[in-house]
Copies of this chain bind each other. A is one copy, B any other.
Amino acid sequence: MESPSIKIAIIGAGTVGAALVAMLNDHTRDAALHEAVGGTLKIAGIAVRDIKRPRSGVAPELLTTDVEALVTRDDVDVVVELAGGVDDAYRYVRRALESGKSVVTANKALIAAKGTELEAIARTQNVDLIFEAAVGGGIPILRALRTSLVGEKIHRVMGIVNGTTNFILSAMTSDGASYDDVLAEAQRLGYAEADPTADVEGFDAAAKVTILAALSFGTPLVGAVIPREGISRITADDVAFASRHGYVIKLIGVAERVGEHGISMRVHPAMLPTSHPLASINGAFNAVFVEGAKAGPLMLMGRGAGGDPTASAVLGDILEAARNRVVSRRSATPDVEENLTDFPQSELQSTFYLTLDVADRPGVLAAVTTVFGDHGVSIRLMEQSGFGDEARLTFVTHFALESDMAATIEDLQTLDVVDAIGSTIRIVGEDS
């Protein structure tokens, strides 16, 4: 029996690329891989920036700096893009797809920015574009959405999909430390970038929400500008309040159906009840919580980043693409649903936590609560701490419209007695 050989071209030999090459060179799983693929996997070449750098476990003759030549080589079946960034990666992936290669990538920024266009090329060419590792590192959430749950009407997908912010918030919760101190520590340990903006301001999470929504609801894979708040204004006091009242603060990404055709996507910090399954996902772990009409709530948890978990997910995708090559097919991908619309965040309802620094003098509370009342925002809980110039009011509202809350905050800013408005954090996952 002849056994086809599927040739893999890899772009990039950084942390993930090196881990992937090590997995492909570990022959203890050969029998299982062969059974899964119906053929053997072979590395055709590895595109790198610096061909002279010595790399352990890599035959030097596999290395090249000519990416275009590698991804269009006649004998290559599957191109694995691990270069990162958007512009170059887009060019390489496009060339590979147009040359009839299947593509596996872990590049969430690329998929969230150019996914719809690249997916269309993949369909035309009858090849695969698979990107499991783009969301949740080693967690097989995208494959679950594409296969097990494809018959399921999904109501909501909500996840902790950024390891850096989860590490920071977990450490603030366990140590009571300030945001700035924990961020500095995270940078020292390599868990946060020197410029942490993409993580802490929620851009990374927003790209992942775009991808989760596309696979859950059929929204387009384009760089949707989705409402996004980061964690940089969360204080140790906010964390302490949450703990005292049975919550933990997490940065969550949400994509959900609202009504028949509305889709709401957003990224913001949230207070989750400690009993919520996402509340116990700590440190660098990621988790995605899926609410389906029939399957009920499901949660998948695992390492959200790192060379080995990402390479493990990439290998799973390579196996899928390789097996498809052997039988000349491609995996099903969801059609873009034409009749979906962005549901405006202003029309959503939520419960809000809000802090105000105020002057501690008679009449302040009346002035402040009048503003809430004027906008129909009713108050579930109020705490006052400090006194004199340091007084702080903490409010938790009942369910209120986002637009009413926004108008309340705008008016509060104009009050003489309000010195500063602190964090506004939505409370999520109570009795729903």
Contacts and interface: CB of A to CB of B under 8 A. Distances in A.
B280 A294 contact: no
Copy number in the complex reads 2
A152 B329 CA distance: 24
Q: Which 3 A-B pairs have the closest CB atoms?
A: A140-B148, A298-B302, A148-B316
Interface residues of A, number: 58
Contact of A29 (B19, B143, B153): B153
Contacts of A294: 19, 23, 138, 308-309, 311-312, 315
A302 B312 contact: no
A270 to B, nearest CB: 18
Q: Which of A33, A277, A280, A294 has the most CB of B within 10 A?
A: A294
Contacts of A144: 140, 143-144
A150 B316 contact: yes
Nearest to A140: B148
Contacts of A23: 151, 294
A430 interface: no
Interface stretch (A54-62, A72-80, A319-327, A374-382): A319-327
A411 interface: no
A319 B334 CA distance: 14
A109 to B, nearest CB: 22
B302 A295 contact: yes
A120 interface: no
Nearest to A143: B148
Interface string A297-308: 111111100101
Interface of A: 19, 23, 26, 28-29, 31-33, 35-38, 132, 138-140, 143-144, 147-153, 218, 275, 277, 280, 292, 294-303, 306, 308-309, 311-313, 315-316, 318-320, 323, 327, 329, 332-335
A95 B245 CA distance: 59
A32 B309 contact: no
B312 A32 contact: no
A300 to B, nearest CB: 5
Given A132-B148, A277-B301, 5 more contacts: A37-B332, A138-B294, A138-B296, A294-B309, A298-B303
A359 to B, nearest CB: 43
Q: Which of A29, A295, A312 has the most CB of B within 10 A?
A: A295
B32 A298 contact: no
A313 B295 contact: yes
26 contacts: A19-B294, A23-B294, A29-B151, A32-B334, A36-B147, A36-B151, A38-B332, A138-B292, A138-B294, A138-B295, A143-B143, A150-B316, A151-B318, A275-B280, A280-B280, A295-B308, A295-B313, A297-B302, A298-B301, A298-B302, A298-B303, A299-B299, A299-B302, A300-B301, A323-B332, A327-B327
A33 B31 CA distance: 33
A90 B334 CA distance: 36
A353 to B, nearest CB: 23
A118 to B, nearest CB: 18
B151 A315 contact: yes
Contacts of A38: 332
